[in-house]
Amino acid sequence: MTRVSGNPAHRLRAPSALVAAGLLGLTTACGGGGGEGGEVTSITALDYNLAEPQNGATESMLQECGEQAGVQVEREALPREQLMPRLLQGASQQELPDLMLIDNPDLPQVAATGALLPLEEAGFDTAGYYDSVLAVGTHEDTLYGIASGVNGLALFTNTALLEDAGVEPPATWAELRTAAEELTQGDTKGFAFSAIGHEEGTWTFEPFMWSNGASLTDLDSPEAVEALELWAGMVEEGSVSQSVVNWSQADVNDQFLGERAAMMINGSWQIPVLAEEDVDYEVVPLPVPEAGGEPATPMGGEVWAIGRNGAEREEKAAEVLRCLLSDANMSEWAELNAYVPAKEELAQRLAEENEQMAPFVESVPTAQARTAELGVDYPDVSAAIADAVQQALAGSGSAEDALAQAQQSVPES
Amino acid sequence: MLLRVGFLAPLVIYLAVFFGYPLLANLSMALREYTAASFYTGEAPFVGAANYAAVLADPVFGTALGNTALFTAGSLVFQFAIGLALAVFFQRNFPLNGLLRSLLLVPWLLPLVVSGTVWRWIFDQEYGVLNQTLLGLGVIDQGLPWLSSTSMALASVTVANIWVGIPFNMVILYGGLQSIPAHLYEAAALDGAGPWQRFRHVTWPLLRPVSAVVLMLGLVYTLKQFDVIMVLTQGGPANATQTLTTWAHALSFGELDFGLGAAVGNLLIVIALGFALLYLRGLRAQPGAPVAGRRG
């Protein structure tokens, strides 16, 4: 998911739900270049790449690809939190952008409206892509979205702090727990992760559930409980701050930068942020329950999708999208954002050149789509998991009770 | 006649477009299964009271309702008491009175996102100024989880909200105090009334209409309070600070179930409306109070 740039204030532009929900239907949609019939001279694009350098890169790539396709691309960028409300508002006017960038767990919601063009219809060639990357763009066996690059989670460790304490980067849960304890000294906590009460917290917890063999449809299984007990245990022991329940991933990164956490779970997109600061760190795969186990990280990142706006505009949009996904553009994008290219060959090349990206590349083939099991029910269950994590960490219930309650939100199939 | 319509029309149109339509849309949305797909297809099957039933049966509903009640009551009581105390204090003449009074307005002028962010920093468990101060004074021996424990978070966000609301209460009550004729205090003093008796028998009864307005506005404002909680805790941890507004937002824009969100929103409107009716009845029962439409 989700490069949340900056602070939680971004989340606040939405007015209270009452007003917003009421006004959604009221506001007239704008946008939508090109006419009905006639020659298509411009298409629209919507994304949430607001932080630099992504903002400038998206703009120039879209313009370049637009030129090649012979259309003007009118791009609009919104904060991530406003993207879904805006898409829904557009959908209510039957006016979706021609090209849109959607966070992958949100894709089923948009695809379920029927407003997206199946990419097979547009004749997309998916050869060379990781199967796991295609899976996150798929809803009910149809490919609607395609990623230029993906991201995932890994363990970041502060090299100096680990050396001082004589600790090796941990590979198993047991090692993680001891390492976190030994690294906790004075103002510095051993370990940090985001356990905030929404998707960001859920997706950070999922690799722990999954690598222990738990599934999203069976939240109260012993495997899931064990994973949550690991987290709760480290908070209780004081090697993880209880404040993680209010930390976004950007906050966690700040803690790591300020040396208030010696290790953190975070996404590859933090690498450019860390590069600007004076910090020496290593990236290793997420610790697994037992030595030799497979890490199972959720697949993160955004997918491009095409809105159903008539054959001619769809054709132009597809042409622009094909250009965005060219090998050269894909590699450039990946390098700029510290994303893993969606094509295996390019990803392997990146892993050889850049050792910090290697753990992320390694995790892609086994990375799981969060919505694979639940589809449009995912947001509901995600909220319940985040709640359960908070309940166990903030000290008001056992991991078992918290997850048993969360299980109630899983639809019976 | 035409002129009358001409003057009335803008208001009626404004109300219909910006209040009537959203309200009706919200009422209708709450009776439908309104999901993300509904926006595109326009199909939102009518489900009657199912959304209300689902919301009322949800364990979060009780939590959110209780939190809303505690948050609102706590905010109102302390905002009003502290605001009144400050207003009475500033009634005296002393140097820098005007300056201090203006400075106290600052919390009201700050955008809520800014106040919220500052409070988030104050309450931070590890390096927040509150814990550092208490630790330094030796009151506590380890930092308290002001915002990250389910048992303390609600009290903490309420404190932040009280701080935000004090200036509003102070300013309006101060205005009310200014309108109480000074000779009443002189007469009371001549009759031998002390400071407490003057407050109890002159200030308090004459301030009642103003107090009622302040409390009513404060109530509506606090019931729909959203920003402070959103910045501080986003309703967490584990729904500990979830109020009806933040829950409605989470249901609509987090879980994309707009029908449920609308139902919670409507319940909130009904609660606010209930209090507004109580207020109006209270005014009618009270002779001499400024009721709209009352003529000589």
Q: Please report the residues numbered 150 through 209 in chain B whose beta carbons come closer than 8 angstroms to any beta carbon of chain A.
A: 150-151, 153
Residue in the structure block whose two tokens are 């890994």: A154
In this predicted structure, what is the pLDDT of residue A168?
95
Quote the number of domains for chain B.
1
pLDDT digit string, tens, across residues A248-300? 999 999 999 999 999 999 999 899 889 888 899 999 999 999 998 888 889 99
Q: Domain A153-297+374-407: state its class.
A: alpha beta
Is A153-297+374-407 in the same CATH topology as A40-151+300-363? yes
Instruction: Name A43's Cβ contacts closer than 8 Å, sequence gap at least 6.
Output: A33, A34, A66, A71, A72, A73, A74, A98, A99, A313, A316, A317, A320
DSSP 8-state assignment for residue A192: E
pLDDT digit string, tens, across residues A14-50? 333 434 444 444 433 333 444 445 678 899 999 998 8
What average pLDDT does the structure give for chain A? 87
Supply the CATH classification number for the domain A40-151+300-363.
3.40.190.10
Of A89, A78, A139, A146, the C-alpha closest to A114 is A139
- Greater pLDDT, A307 or B290: A307
Inter-chain touch B150–A394, beta carbons under 8 Å: yes
Inter-chain touch A391–B238, beta carbons under 8 Å: yes
d(CA B267, CA B244): 9
- Does the residue B176 lie in any domain? yes
The single-letter code of the amino acid at A11 is R
Confidence of residue B286 (pLDDT cuts 50, 70, 90): low
pLDDT digit string, tens, across residues B5-15? 888 999 999 99
* Both tokens assigned to A278: 């004076």
Inter-chain touch A391–B150, beta carbons under 8 Å: yes
**Average of per-residue pLDDT across A94-108:** 91
Q: Does A41 touch chain B (CB under 8 A)?
A: no
pLDDT digit string, tens, across residues B264-276? 999 999 998 998 8
- Does the residue B151 lie in any domain? yes
Residue B191: helix, strand or coil by DSSP?
coil
**Average of per-residue pLDDT across B41-45:** 83
Inter-chain touch A19–B22, beta carbons under 8 Å: yes
Residue A236: helix, strand or coil by DSSP?
helix
Inter-chain touch B124–A390, beta carbons under 8 Å: no
- Does the residue B130 lie in any domain? yes
> Which residues in chain B are contacts of A19 at CB distance < 8 A?
22
Q: Are strands A99-103 and A302-306 parallel, antiparallel or unpaired?
A: antiparallel
Q: Does B286 touch chain A (CB under 8 A)?
A: no
Q: What ipTM was predicted for this assembly?
A: 0.75
- CB nearest to A18's CB, from B21, B150, B248: B248
- Does the residue B290 lie in any domain? no
Q: Does B143 touch chain A (CB under 8 A)?
A: no
In this predicted structure, what is the pLDDT of residue B280?
84
Residue ranges covered by each domain of chain A: 40-151+300-363, 153-297+374-407
Question: Residue B138 belongs to a domain with what CATH number?
Answer: 1.10.3720.10
pLDDT at B148 over 90: no
The range of the structural domain enclosing residue B276 comes to 70-217+265-284
- Does the residue B8 lie in any domain? no
d(CA B123, CA B125): 6
- Does the residue B17 lie in any domain? no
**CB count in 10 Å sphere of residue B120:** 22
Most confident of A105-109, A153-157, A394-398, B253-257: A153-157
Maximum C-alpha span of chain B: 77
* Both tokens assigned to A75: 């791009």
- Does the residue B187 lie in any domain? yes
The single-letter code of the amino acid at B294 is R
In this predicted structure, what is the pLDDT of residue B287?
55
pLDDT at B294 over 50: no
Q: Does B237 touch chain A (CB under 8 A)?
A: yes
pLDDT digit string, tens, across residues B76-126? 999 999 999 999 999 888 888 889 888 888 888 889 889 999 999 999 887
> Which residues in chain A are contacts of B233 at CB distance < 8 A?
197, 246
- CB nearest to A390's CB, from B40, B224, B236: B236
